Structures are given as C-alpha cells and as structure tokens.
Amino acid sequence: MNLFTRIALPLGLSLLLATPAVAAPPALCSRWTIHDPSRGFPSGRVYEVVLDEGQPWVATDNGLATLEADAWRVIGPDQGLPHPEVWGVAVAPNRDVWAATAGGLARLSGGRVDVFHTRNSGLPADLVYDVTLRDREVWVATAGGLARLDTDTGAWQVWTPANSPLPVGTLQQVQCRGPEVWVATFGAGLWRLDEQGRWQGFADPDGDARLDRKPADGLQHDAPTTLLVRPDEVLVGQEIGLSALQGDQFSELLPLSADPTPGGATLPAHVLSLAAAGPRLYVGTASGLLVREAGGWLVYRERPGGLRQAVEYPAAVPGRAPRAHAVESPAPCGAIRSLAVGPDELWLAFPGGLAHCREEAEAPGWPPAAPPATVTAPGLLFPRDHDKLFAASASRDDSPASPGLVAAARIGLLLPPDGRTVAATSFARGAQRSLDGYPGGARWGRERLPIQLVTGHVPDLPWEGLAAQAALDLARRQKIQLLVVVGGGTPVAQLEVAQLARQIGLPVLLLGSDEPLLPHAGSGWVTTLGWSVRAQLRGLIQRLRTVGPRRLVLLVDDSRYAAAGEQVLAAELAARGLSLAGVVRHRRGQPLLATVQELSLLSPDALLLWAPGPAAGELLRALRAAGVGCPCFGPSALASAEFLGPAAELAGGCTVGLTVRRRPEFVTVAPEPWSAASGDPAGVWEQLGEELLYWLVGALVASPTLSRSEVAATLRTVLPGWSFERLLPAGNGIGGAPFGVVRGGVVVPE
Amino acid sequence: MTTSSSSGPAPAPPRPAPRRRRALLLLLFGGLLVGGLVLWLRQQAQDHLAMTLRDPAAGFGACWDCHGTGQPPRPLPRQPPAPLGLALLPGGDLLVGATGDDSLYRLDPARARIRWRLDVGPRPHGVAVVDGGARALVALRDADALVPVDLAAPRREEPIPVGREPTAVAVAARWGIALVTNSGSDDVSVVDLPTRRERYRLPAGREPYAVAIDPQERLAVVANRLVSPHAPRTPPSSEVTVILLGKRPRVLERRQLPSIHLAESVAITPDGQLALIPAMVTRNLLPTTQTRRGWVAASVLVVLELAERGRIVPILLDGLDDYHADPTAVALEPAGRFAYLASGGRDRVLELDLAKLRRLLEGEAADVLQSLGTRLGPGTLLLARRFPTAANPRGLAVAEGRLYVSERLADGVAVFDLAAGTLQHRFALGLLGGPSLQQQGEQLFYRASAYQGQFSCRTCHPDGHLDGLTYDFEIDGLGENFVDNRSLRGLVGTAPFKWTGLNPTLDVQCGPRFSRILGRSRPFSDAQSAALHVFVNALPTANGRRPPVDTPEVRLGREVFYRTRTRTGELIPVRDRCPSCHPAPTFTSQTRSRVGTGAQSDFTDVFDAPHLLDLRDGLPYLHDGRAGSLMELFVREDPAEHHGRTRDLDRVELNALVEYLRTL
C-alpha cells in the first residue's frame, strides 16, 4: 500500500465528509397573484387546493373550481355535484377528479359527475371530509368513519367505531403510504391501518388536550389539524406545533426547541396545512408560511396587508443573522388552510381566496454570520437574577374593553418610579393598539404608565393554548419567576396555564378567570380575578330570560375545559329556571357544516354560544346560510370584530357581534365599549385596578421562591404609598385571596 | 431346305384386350382418386390438427398419438367455435377470436386454409395486432384479462389482468398503449404495452363494448352498449366515451345518445372526422302498442363528428318492412369510401356509400339531420349493396378488396369479393354434424323474427342478460304496471316467471304469450321452444364463470344474510329472514309474497321472489326499476321494513350485505 492509499486517501475522504453541506437557500415568492371573488374566483372560502400537472383544482364552499385557459370553471350542484361545500379534492392518474363534499363523494370524469352517497353506495356518511387515492382505491374520511372504494370492483369497505378501534367516526383526513393508511381524526389522535388490517393509534400521551407537557413523547395534541405522509416520515400538524413520526419515534419540528433567531422570535406553530416538494417542506400556519430546507427556514410573516415579509432564518449556520426580504405583492392573509406545490409554483388557500406565485430564481445565499444579538431586560421587580416579568395575555380578545388587556396595562403599576422598563410580552394581537386606544392612554391615574409592551414576537395568537405554550417556552428559557397571565376571554386557557405552572413550579397570577372553573385546574397557586366571566354570564342569562326560549341549545367548543364551562353554565341556567334542550360540540377543525347540520336537527329556538373558539364567526355565518334563524346569545368575545373575522361579511353588512341594532335577533352581552366620549361609565377601570393589586399581592405572597421579606420589600418599593402590616403564609388562593388589601395602605389578614 | 413364303401382311401387334384397357384406366383413375383422397385427407388432417390440438407447435404425429389407448387424455370435446372478433395481419392473414371454443384461429384467405388454432383462454372476444404483426392481443371475456399471443410460435404469453369482462381491444402504437373495454366493470383499461401492465382505467358508460382509435391516434371512441343509470320513467341515453390519447390518456368528452343503446361496434373514418356507431333506438317509455310502427325498437347508424361540439346524427337503417335488426358490427374500407354494417338478427351486411353520407351531412340543415333517425329515406339512399351471411354475423374486417365476416352462430368466416360482390370462400370452423339443440335455440334467440324481423330475443336480452330498461306492456294496461327487464341468466329452477310470477313455465313465458304480446308473429313451434329453452337454461351467470369471492366483508355479509336475530338479540320472525324468500342455491323461494314494494301504478303488490343471481350486473332493481342500487333498495325503498329486517344494521353490516349479494 503506497502513501496515497494509506494517508492521502483517508485524509481526503475524511475532509470531504467533514465539509459541511452547503445549505441551499429556498426559492422566494415575492409576487403573488390573488384569486378571490372580486377577480372571478367563485368563493372566498377555500378548503383545499391540489395541482394536477400545473392545473389547480380547488375545493371551496361554492363548488369545485379549476383554472382552464386563464378562466375559472366551477363545478357545482348545477353540474351534478351533490353539494356546494367541497372539502377535499384528489386527482387520479386518469385525470378523474374526486371531490369530498358535504353531500357525498363525487367523481368528475370527462364532464360527467358520478355521485356516491349513503343511499346508493357503501359510504358510511354523507359528510365526506377528505379523499385520497391509492392505485385503484379511493379512500375517504367521513363523519361516519373510514371507507375504501375499489374502483375496479365497485366494492366498498368501511371502518367505523363499531368494527375498528377508531374511537370516533369523524375523520378529517386520510393519506396512504404503500399499504399503510393514515387517518387524522377530529380530536382523537392519529391512526394507522396496516396491510393486515391492524390499527395502531397515536395520541398525546400526557392527555392534555392543548398543551404538550413532555416534548417528543407522542403527538403534541390529540387533535391533528393536518397530515402529510412522506416516504420516511409522517408529519402531523397541530394547533400547537408540528410533529414528525419516523418509525415509532416522534420528534417535534415546531415549535422549535431553540429559536432560529437570536432575538428570540418564535415561528408560528399553529399548523394548518402541509406540502412537500422533494426535501423542501412547506408549512402553512395560521399566521404565515414556513418553508423548511436544509439551510434553515424561510418564513413569510403576516404583516398589515398580508404576508409582506419573508425572513430567512439560517438555522444551519449558527450566528448568522436572519435576513428579511420584502414581498412586493403579498398574499393577503396569513392563515393558510391549504397548500399546493408545483415544480416552480406555489398555491395558497387563505380566508378570502387563493394566492398563486411562481417561485423566482433562488434567493441569494445566506448572509454572512453576524454576532448574536443581545437582549437586555432591565426590569427590577424581582431583585434576583430573574429579572423579567412576563405578562402573557391568554386572550385573543383584543377589544378595548378586554379586561385582560386593561389588566396588562396595569402591570405598569408595578414599575419602579425611575422608569426602568419591564419586558412584558403580550401575545395578544393588537395589545398595543388597545392600550393606545384606551381613553387615558397607557396611564395610571394621571401619570403615563412607564410600560413598554414588547409585541410582535408571536404576532398571532391562533388560540389561547398557544399562549400558554409560548409562556411555558419563555418561562423555561428566560427563567421567569412569576407568570402573570391576563385575559378575560376564555377561562380555559388560563386553567391550562395554571396546570402548566404547577408542572414547572412557577407562580402564576391568573387574571380574568372564573372561580367556579378553578377546581378543574387543581392548582394551589392560582389566584383569580373572577370578574368577567361571571358578569357576562349573569347578563347573558338575564337576556335569555327575557326571551324565554323553549329549546335552548348550547354550542360549545369540544374540549374538556369547555365541558367544565358547560357544567357551570348548566348550573347557572338551572338556578335561573332555564334548561338546555341540547348541547352541540364543535370540534376544532371540523367543517362548520357538520356542526350546523347537527344544530339544525335540534331545532333550537335560541342558541347560546359559549367558548366556540375562533370559528365562532364562521359558524354564525354558516348558521345564517343554513337558515337557522333563531336568536343567538354569546359572550362578550363575540362582540369583537377581530375575533369574528370573516363574519363581517354577513348579509346587510352586519357584523354578528355588533348586530344589536341591525339584527335584533342576535344579542350580545358585553361591557360598554370604551370610547373617548363615554369615558369609564361602568367603572371597570377602577375595579380592575383594585382587584389587580389585590391579586398581585396575593400572588407575590404565594410565590414559593420569594421570601416573605422580599415580597414585603417589593411591595413597599412598588407601592410606596401603601403599608403592609402583616403578610400571611400563602394558602390556597382558589375562591378567594389569602389576605385582603384595603385601600389606604392597610393589609388586613384573613 | 424349306423356305417359307409370306402369306400376307405382318400381323399387327397384339392389342390389349379390352379388359386390360379397362383395368389400366381403372388403375389410372384409381391412382388419381387415391392421390386426391390422400391430399384431401392431409388437408383435413391439418385443419383437424389446427382446430383440435392445444399446442400446434407440438407438430404432427400419428393419429394414435391422440386417439390411441394409454395416451395422455384427449383434448376435451370442443364447443362450437362461435367466431367473433377479427383482426387482419399485415400479410393478409386473418385472426379470428372464437368465443365458443376459447380459441384464436389464424386463417390464410389467399389459400383458403386454416393455418392453426390456439387455445388462448375463456371467451376470447376482441383481437388486435401489435408489434407489426408479430403478436396479437386477445381480450378474454371470462378471464378478465388481455392475453398476448406470439403469432410466430404460436404461443400464448402471460395474460395481463384488466377489468371485468373485457370485450374489445385497440392499440395506439404511438403511445405504447392498448385500450381495453371492460363491459363488466364499466371502464376502459389503459394497458402499457412495453411493461405489459394495466396502467389505470378510465370510467366509461354502462357496458363499454367496442373501441376504435383514429388513424392519427389522437382520439379513441368507446361505444357503450347499455343505457346509463337513469331515473325511473325518464328517457334513457347511452354514452359514447371520447378519450384523448397521449402519455396520460383521459376522458375528453362523454356524448350522450338519447334513446339509443346496444352499440356493439365503432369505426372511425380514415380522416379521423367521423365515428360510425351502429345501434338500436329504444323508446321504452312508449307502450308496446307502438312497436308495430317501429317506434319502440329500430336500427340506426349513429354518425358522430369528432370535433368540439360536433354533431350527432342518427340515420335510420330500417326500411319500410326491411329491418336491419340488431346491428352488431361496422367496418370501413381502408380508403374510407364505404362502410359495412352487419345485422346480427337479419344475417346480412350492408354496404353504405360514405361519400353520400358526407354530402348528406354537409347539405342538410341541423333539424333535418336530427330527424334522420326517424325517417325511412336517407338510410336507404346510402345503401349500396347487401351481402347475405350465415347466422349472426358479428365481426367485420375489410382489406384488399375482401370483406371478412365472422358468422358466430354458423361457426364460419365468410370472405366476400368486394369487386364481384360475391361470396369467395367460407371458412368452416365448426365440427362435423348439424347444430345441437342448444345451438338451434341460440340461433332462434338471435334471429330477428318478431314484428316482420324488427327485433329478436337478444334485442332486449343482449347476451341473454338485460338491457337496463323498464317497459310498458299494453297487456296489463297502458301507463300501468311498468316492468323492469330481467336477466335470463341462471333461470334454471327459478320458476315461476314474470315479476308477478304468473307464468309458471318458460313455455308460457316465451311461447304463444310472447308472440301475442311482443312478437306479433307466428309462435315458436314445440321443437323450437324446446331448443330455445335448452339454450336459455344453459345461460350461465357472470359470477358463475368466475372464482367465488371470499373477503371478510363478504363473509360478514353472508352472516347478516343468514342471521336469525337482530343486533339487539331479538328473534327475527322466519318470514322476515332473508333466506326465507331467497334460499340458496337459486336464492328464490319460487313463491309470491307482499313485501311492500308495490307502487301506485301497479295493479298488485304481490310479487314473485326473484332470484338473486348476478345482482351485480342487474341494475336497476325492483319490479319497476325504481331502485338505482342495492343500497338504495334497503335504505330508501323499504321504509316500513316489509322487505326483511335491515333497519337495525349498522353501516358496516349493511355494506357487507350488499357486497355479499353482489357475489351471488
């Protein structure tokens, strides 16, 4: 063996192997073409888009649409489609198009529409949520189970909870990989059917429906939002992240264990859609588009006016700074319900229509490495090394009247007089705007509050659970000692935070929750404000009694927290002589029409919406479209146009939550909105100020990490005008404070 | 010394005695006779071998190779060949698919001899030539496969699985594919020729039966035999499926032929502009009183313009009292000047002048063209010649001045000289002896003897099955008692007949009653009836020709079918159990009962329990055809649960029950 083979060759090989792969930058989409009703597209609601050799097929609530010769052709009921609501679409190798609709399964072939429904086929339910193809087999996910149609023989095979381990019949998505079939359920995890007909389920082992307590132990969430089956892995999108299953091993792609940016920015993690093109993975979220490649992430972020900014995060090259690209003609909205990727093009389904982009030439390479950015947070509330006060609003309700946001502003009260800031991160969209919109500005009394809300780290809050998840994440990394969660929207998220806090031993000040729900939190470290929910409930029931409904139906978000709320509601209603004719649970991600149909069957003469989630507005719109015209009652959250979103396009230009005047059959109960003219007629501000202090003191005292003297010192520092006679040991704050605060500076024990 | 003196002229050489001359002559003639006989026997032996041997490549041995004792078992007695599909080879030879004896024949028309016969599999139907004539593709209707045949060997190669009951095959060499019409699964297989695999299927109409590809290989046109599923008492229509060829063939268009069905053949003109489809007109919504006027059943040639928004022009082929009953095949002369149309019920081939046809299409207004399907004149004007054939001509081929006609029920292939207009030769593929009783019955079945030859039994029962239509017979009132056509397959042991079960025997069903109600002609004689019944009773079911299906769903469905208790454990009364009215093996109790399926238009709600065989292909269902599917029959048409107990079944069980019924 010569010198070359003995030394040079191994050395060369090792050098070659040691050379890091050059990260290929992702292609950039900066010019989007929008297809919406104003441009001839048949619908503003797109459920799915798929590409067949460059031809898009789009499932909408107004039929199936395809682009032919630069014009949209629509196949709807007039052409033989069983229902205008098309929820899924798949194109076969023979170019037959299969459509999953609310009225059955349809096949479009050469202009003919063949319909399969429960009356003429083995389809287990007429609500068909998804369709996929494998060779000659058509697999459909329905409201009654999974079904397979052998197009060769015409034979159907059906799997329902009656003949399989499937815990629910409502299946939202189905995909195939070789002989395996993967099914995403509505709220009952992920299931695999193998070649031998055996089922295997994958769920969230921690049993928590919204929080992922232990990373990579399974699904993050029992309710997958989307599914992508690839040859080597199964990707499961959820409302709180993206999981990958390789073999039997789970890993988490989102949320990232370490932020790709030194600034601590967090990538959107409410995954709604997935697509892949070779090694490139496209993740559509509720607040933007993520493109993952070997070199890192390319993130299209939602900004006012749409996805205006594309930021490269070079995860593979530590220390390199992200680089932002302007998107010239952006897609209008960040909530991406479906994705379709062609060789050089990208289609996005957003609330309002479709966006199309032909990917341009490869973006320039990653920028040179930059020194890591430093973050300074000089808050001095806690005189330890843990110097940050973290305030997370657990509410999407960013109306000016939101008690959560008002309470967030009160955090400023705790700031020392020298004006040093506390880094308070709000996860509520529009929090800053709300603060600025408050009549007094960010002020306490006559003084401007020295508060700086750092917003934008998580620009969107798809639902409250994400806030808790993000809070957990930040709390871990930034060593936060006290977590202040404010919000008056749904109390369930606050309970999640409470549970979360118990896990990590973090004291939490929970504001705006409702006391009767707290036993479900099981935490000894929770204090409550107990203001908003009860107030709303009382007002709501009062309104209801004036109507005197005979068939009052409760529509709730289907979660175990909502179930707790349901108990409270039922008790409150019963105490006031009202009873429920039925309860309808709307599962997250479930097509609205299914819920609407279920509601219709109950023939309600009044509808009570409670914690129906972000889909409330859409649901109301669907109810109206379906002719369910009974009066609706809802909490104050429904009064928020922001919350309702697409519902603003209701007939007559009414927004559902604000229809008291124009649609008298719908009544919302909400505090009077703030306005410069009205000031603070209800005295909410004053009330909150008192209660905030009350509970903050309680939380400080309850903190296991602060000594009593430290708490006392802190209180004296931040409340110099107050006196504290005695601080009692922390007790169980549930249902009341361990001690009281009396205006004038006297702390009265017990 | 003695000298002799001549005493006259020398005597003439002795002439052979007359007896010897006669002997020599006899010897000569005898030799010629023996030689001729030997040659004839040799030819017969070759034909015999070609027809009989299962492996012609084995060569000629001795008679006792097959017929001696102690030898391997003899080949099974052959069925009558029943030739059907034809395909011409580049050298002029003719390939014939014979559905009766499961064979492929290679004929040499120039020498008027049979080159060989090869067993290819059950019921070879359509034939196509590939690889420049080196191979053939044969659609095996009962094997659900396409079998390639090496024509040089000749040898059957590995079959290619396709859809159910393939009937025709066409090759697009440019795209490396073959299209196969699967009449049992209502689709068209796209077969990749290099890999010899079915790539995928294209949904067609109901019973796709024939396919043609245009010479430019841009389009393929599929003729579907039966009408598409339709709402009860609405005008039916069949479909012509137009396929856009390419790397990924797809259905381009589906043309509807209103009130037209039974298209069994299609041809495309050499310029690719017209597709010609012979078919029958049906006006089943009219009462059968209109039959005598030619309104209920008539024969047409459908001319389809192969262009976007191209016209569909049906042209009546029937004359005043000269019907072109049961059109079965169409072929074009290579130059495209004449079209040839076979009448399976009238045993003849018409020659139509396509130049006249084009002038007709160019010169007439649209409304006139649309009326050609009901006008007696134009079809007659196009007619050039008639060629009489033997029984039931089914396949046509034209090349080099010859017209080839497969005469299915005469077991022959006729060769006509087109220049002379005469029969040139007839290949006899059948066995010695006359037709069997069953064959006689089949010939009667396919012969158009009703209404001056307007239609035959086959017109409503193609292949002994059904046409998917409901009819209004005047015998039980006009506009009342609509009856769904029923299959004739698997009839043995299922009497009585008719939906109401009023006809106790086939004799009653098909005898004088049939003549009175439908045929309006002399009824079959006793001998004819006997033959017809032998044939009808021998009609096998499609499921019976295939291996039994045994899947978990079918097993569960069988359990449901034979269950005695509901899901809640309640005992089901005996009369409400499925087997009570539908016991195996025929799945009919042969009794009449009331099951709540009567309609307002019926004069009775008591019906015969029908057998359940071949339900898979029996669409529509119930006596008046109101149920479009088996599932519909259970979930929609039996609200009061008079038709058995099914309400307690969940979706899985109900689905399994349907799957089981489809396998019977």
- Tens of pLDDT, residue by residue over B31-48, are 999 999 988 887 777 666
Angle between the N-to-C axes of helices A560-575 and A491-504, in degrees from 0 to 180, rounded to the nearest 10: 130
CA distance B644 to B624: 19
In this predicted model, what pLDDT tens digit does every residue of B13-36 receive, in sequence order? Answer: 666 677 888 899 999 999 999 999
Confidence of residue A109 (pLDDT cuts 50, 70, 90): very high
Confidence of residue B118 (pLDDT cuts 50, 70, 90): very high
In this prediction, residues B451-463 reach a mean pLDDT of: 86
Beta pairing partners, B330: B341
Q: Is A667 a residue whose pLDDT tops 50?
A: no
Q: Is the CB of residue A624 less than 8 Å from the CB of residue A568?
A: no
pLDDT at B50: 57
In this predicted model, what pLDDT tens digit does every residue of A357-407 receive, in sequence order? Answer: 876 544 444 333 333 322 222 222 222 222 223 333 333 333 333 333 334
Higher per-residue confidence, B293 vs B416: B416
Residues 6+ apart with CB under 8 A from B358: none
Confidence of residue A76 (pLDDT cuts 50, 70, 90): very high
- Whether residues B629 and A120 touch (CB distance < 8 A) is answered with yes
Q: Is B97 a residue whose pLDDT tops 80?
A: yes
Q: What is the DSSP letter of B144?
A: T
Q: Is A526 a residue whose pLDDT tops 60?
A: no
Tell whether B632 is within 8 A of chain A (Cβ): yes
pLDDT at B631: 85
pLDDT at A454: 29
* Residue that has been written with the tokens 């603070």 in this structure: A680
Higher per-residue confidence, B328 vs B42: B328
In this prediction, residues A543-567 reach a mean pLDDT of: 63
Q: Is the CB of residue B506 less than 8 Å from the CB of residue B556?
A: no
Q: Is A486 a residue whose pLDDT tops 90?
A: no
Higher per-residue confidence, A205 vs B199: B199
Residue B150: CB atoms within 10 A of its CB come to 15
| C-alpha dist (Å) from residue B328 to A450, A600, B367 | 94, 55, 28
Confidence of residue B417 (pLDDT cuts 50, 70, 90): very high
Which segments of B496-649 does DSSP mark as H helices, in order? 506-510, 512-514, 526-537, 552-561, 578-581, 630-635
- Whether residues B250 and A111 touch (CB distance < 8 A) is answered with no
Q: Is the CB of residue A650 less than 8 Å from the CB of residue A656?
A: yes
Higher per-residue confidence, A643 vs A4: A4
- Whether residues A154 and B250 touch (CB distance < 8 A) is answered with no
Per DSSP, the three-state class of A129 is strand
pLDDT at A344: 79
Tell whether A110 is within 8 A of chain B (Cβ): yes
Q: Is A614 a residue whose pLDDT tops 90?
A: no
Write the residue in B553, B629, B652 that is nearest to A121 by C-beta.
B629
In this prediction, residues A477-490 reach a mean pLDDT of: 44
Which segments of A266-309 does DSSP mark as H helices, in order? none
Chain A CB contacts of B659 under 8 Å are: 122, 155-156
Tell whether B187 is within 8 A of chain A (Cβ): yes
CA distance A276 to A228: 8
Label residue A736 left, alpha or beta by phi (over 0 means left) and psi (-120 to 50 means alpha).
left
Tell whether B311 is within 8 A of chain A (Cβ): no
**DSSP helix, strand, coil percent of chain B (3-state; round to 5):** 25, 30, 45
Q: Is A749 a residue whose pLDDT tops 60?
A: no
In this prediction, residues B524-549 reach a mean pLDDT of: 85
Q: Is A742 a residue whose pLDDT tops 50?
A: no
Would you state the torsion angle of the CA atoms of residues B599, B602, B608, B614, taken in this order, to the nearest 10 degrees? -60
Q: Is A621 a residue whose pLDDT tops 90?
A: no
Write the residue in B249, B652, B662 that is nearest to A158 by C-beta.
B652
pLDDT at A105: 95
In this predicted model, what pLDDT tens digit does every residue of A248-293 receive, in sequence order? Answer: 888 887 765 444 443 334 566 778 899 988 888 898 887 788 888 7
Confidence of residue A715 (pLDDT cuts 50, 70, 90): low
Nearest alpha carbon to residue A582 among A624, A615, A553: A553
Q: Is A535 a residue whose pLDDT tops 80?
A: no
- Whether residues A94 and B658 touch (CB distance < 8 A) is answered with no
What's chain B's length in residues?
Answer: 664
Residue of A nearest to B631 (CA): A120
Size of interface A-B (CB pairs under 8 A): 105
Write the residue in A93, A120, A144 that is nearest to B651 by C-beta.
A144
ipTM rounded to 2 decimals: 0.81
Confidence of residue B211 (pLDDT cuts 50, 70, 90): very high
pLDDT at A520: 34
Q: Is B308 a residue whose pLDDT tops 80?
A: yes
- Whether residues A120 and B632 touch (CB distance < 8 A) is answered with yes
Confidence of residue B629 (pLDDT cuts 50, 70, 90): confident
Answer positive or negative: Cα dihedral of B226, B230, B236, B241: negative
In this prediction, residues A708-733 reach a mean pLDDT of: 47
Tell whether B662 is within 8 A of chain A (Cβ): yes
Tokens of B352: 């139509």
pLDDT at A724: 47
Chain A CB contacts of B253 under 8 Å are: 110-111
In this prediction, residues A460-488 reach a mean pLDDT of: 45
In this predicted model, what pLDDT tens digit does every residue of A168-212 receive, in sequence order? Answer: 888 889 999 889 999 998 778 899 999 898 999 988 877 655 456
Confidence of residue A519 (pLDDT cuts 50, 70, 90): very low
Q: Is A665 a residue whose pLDDT tops 90?
A: no
H or E segment at A11? helix A9-18
Q: Is A349 a residue whose pLDDT tops 60?
A: yes
Q: Is A718 a residue whose pLDDT tops 60?
A: no
pLDDT at A545: 62
Q: Is B548 a residue whose pLDDT tops 70?
A: yes
Alpha-carbon gap: B172 to the closest alpha carbon of chain A (Å): 17
Confidence of residue A639 (pLDDT cuts 50, 70, 90): very low
Q: Is B474 a residue whose pLDDT tops 90?
A: no
Percent over 90 (pLDDT), chain B: 42
Q: Is A523 a residue whose pLDDT tops 70?
A: no
Tell whether B659 is within 8 A of chain A (Cβ): yes
In this prediction, residues A48-54 reach a mean pLDDT of: 91
Q: Is A642 a residue whose pLDDT tops 90?
A: no
Q: Is A78 a residue whose pLDDT tops 60?
A: yes
- Whether residues A107 and B241 touch (CB distance < 8 A) is answered with no
Among A334-343, A615-624, B185-194, which is the least confidently predicted range? A615-624
- Whether residues A155 and B659 touch (CB distance < 8 A) is answered with yes
DSSP per residue over A509-554, as a string?
Answer: EE-S--GGGGGGT--SSEE----HHHHHHHHHHHHHHHH--SSEEE
In this prediction, residues A211-227 reach a mean pLDDT of: 75
Q: Is B305 a residue whose pLDDT tops 70?
A: yes
Confidence of residue A30 (pLDDT cuts 50, 70, 90): confident
DSSP per residue over B485-519, as a string?
Answer: ----TT-TT--SBSTT--B-SHHHHHSHHHIIIII
Answer positive or negative: Cα dihedral of A551, A555, A558, A561: negative
**For B193-233, where are the E strands, in sequence order?**
197-203, 206-213, 219-227
The mean predicted confidence, pLDDT, of chain B is 85
- Whether residues A107 and B629 touch (CB distance < 8 A) is answered with no
In this prediction, residues B77-89 reach a mean pLDDT of: 86
Alpha-carbon gap: A95 to the closest alpha carbon of chain B (Å): 6
